[in-house]
């Protein structure tokens, strides 16, 4: 049972997101005590989505390692369900939300920093954590797309799911 580099990569990325989330939640910011807390920020929701997605990737990798060589139909069926969940999450949440957060944050930041990340936040959020939340998402998702084959849902099903997420976030 040799580990494949993409399996190690999934575990490393998951640990990275867990570290970023723990450090972010440890910050005592006034915005965290208001209505909605951290959940009103799409960046935080994206971090949770990415952590759950890469958690599913690690779980899929472990399951495929453990079921390799087994002739159990039930285990194969469960693994296929897990793989389809991983692929659906990639197509519907991890990639679209991750790319949106990175491009919107940095576009607005370049235009006028005060609109999206006021200088006051530098007193609360260190630069490495800002980049962990707003920069590393895109390379991690792109690496995942290059290292793992995904079966994507139909265009209409995927678009409906992304729109449902967007409307849910807005509400």
pLDDT in tens, 2-36: 567 888 999 999 999 999 999 888 888 777 778 88
CA 86 – CA 149 distance, rounded (Å): 11
Q: pLDDT (tens digit, 9 = 90+) per residue, 97-134?
A: 999 999 999 999 999 999 999 998 888 889 999 999 99
Residue 85 burial class via C-beta count within 10 angstroms: exposed 0-12, middle 13-18, buried 19 and up: middle
Does residue 46 belong to any structural domain of this protein?
A: yes
Q: Which residues contact 138 (CB under 8 A, 6 or more apart)?
A: 98, 99, 102
Report if residue 32 sits inside a domain: no
Position 113 in a domain:
yes
Residue 101 falls inside a structural domain: yes
The span from the CA of 46 to the CA of 52, in Å, is: 10
Domain assignment of residue 34, yes or no: no
Rg (CA), the chain: 18
- Domain carrying residue 100: 6-22+39-170
28 located within any domain: no
């Amino acid at each position: 049972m040799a580990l494949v580099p993409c399996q190690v990569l999934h575990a490393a990325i998951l640990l990275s997101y867990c570290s970023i989330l723990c450090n972010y939640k440890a910050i005592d910011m006034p915005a965290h005590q208001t209505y909605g807390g951290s959940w009103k920020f799409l960046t935080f929701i994206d971090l949770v989505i990415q952590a759950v997605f890469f958690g599913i990737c690690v779980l899929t990798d472990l399951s495929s390692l453990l079921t390799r060589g087994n002739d159990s139909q039930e285990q194969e069926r469960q693994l296929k369900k897990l793989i389809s969940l991983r692929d659906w999450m990639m197509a519907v949440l991890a990639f679209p939300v991750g790319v949106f957060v990175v491009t919107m944050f940095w576009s607005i930041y370049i235009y006028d920093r005060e609109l999206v990340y006021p200088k006051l936040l530098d007193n609360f959020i260190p630069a490495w954590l800002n980049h962990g939340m707003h920069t590393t998402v895109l390379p991690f998702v792109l690496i995942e797309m290059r290292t793992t084959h995904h079966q994507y849902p139909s265009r209409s099903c995927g678009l409906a799911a992304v729109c449902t997420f967007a409307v849910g976030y807005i509400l």
